[in-house]
Amino acid sequence: MLALDMCYGLQLGNETTEYLGLKLAEWLRGYSLLQFCCKRRLALTKIVDGLCYLDVDAFLSLSDRAGMPSERMLRFILEGHPKPASQGHLKTGQL
């Protein structure tokens, strides 16, 4: 986010507009943590080669330890995940 501030003058720390219930900085933090998990194979459970699911509880634990409120990161997961017609919401621990 520092690069966005320095290069483009985007001061995300002062930005309060929410998109689907999250600030832009929270979306960036969520995607950064998700990318970190994918690269390090953290908070993921392998199903078959090349396919895994996100362990939501483990992801929220990591986000909490990184100083990102769990309830905001849960919103990141739920808003960023397409909802099947037969499933109104996701249970924690399943994705």
Give the tens place of pLDDT for each residue, 10-34.
677 778 888 888 888 888 889 999 9
Give the tens place of pLDDT for each residue, 48-75.
888 888 999 999 999 999 888 888 898 8
For residue 88, give the DSSP letter: S
- Higher pLDDT residue, 83 or 93? 83
Compute the distance between CA of residue 63 and CA of residue 68 in angstroms, rounded to an integer.
5
pLDDT surpassing 60 at residue 46: yes
How many domains, in total, are found in the chain? Answer: 1
pTM (whole model) above 0.75: no
Q: Which domain holds residue 58?
A: 2-80
pLDDT surpassing 60 at residue 85: no
| Other residues' Cβ atoms within 10 Å of the Cβ of residue 73 | 23
Asked whether residue 54 is domain-assigned, the answer is yes
Asked whether residue 87 is domain-assigned, the answer is no
Asked whether residue 22 is domain-assigned, the answer is yes
Compute the distance between CA of residue 68 and CA of residue 55 in angstroms, rounded to an integer.
17
